[in-house]
Amino acid sequence: MKIKTGDIVELQPTDNRNRQLINEEKKRIWEVLKTSAQVQGLGNVPGVLILHRVTKHERWVPEDDIAIIDYVETQERI
């Protein structure tokens, strides 16, 4: 399933920073803000900008670092 803006995702414990966000900061559930085919900070690989709604913390992650738990069925065009 393709990740889209508005999807709700769960951060996966794929590295130390993600484990810290999940365990210490209790930031497990995020919302997808944007996707990009290349993210410089990730080594020019596809990435996803996610937002932790409660703390307003945003970060870019590779698609492998998240799992969709609730998805947007349709996306309205503005």
pLDDT of amino acid 74: 62
Q: Encode the chain (78 residues) as per-residue pLDDT tens digits.
A: 689 999 999 999 999 999 999 999 999 999 999 999 999 999 999 999 999 999 999 999 999 999 999 988 765 544
pLDDT of amino acid 76: 53
pTM for the full predicted model = 0.88
Residue 78 domain-assigned (yes or no): no
For every residue of 6-74, DSSP letters joined together read: T-EEEE---SHHHHHHHHTS---EEEEEEEEEEEGGGTSEEEEEEEETTTTEEEEE-GGGEEEEE--S-
Residue 2 domain-assigned (yes or no): no
Residue-number span of the structural domain to which 46 is assigned = 8-70
Residue 3 domain-assigned (yes or no): no
Q: How many domains does the chain have?
A: 1
Residue 35 domain-assigned (yes or no): yes
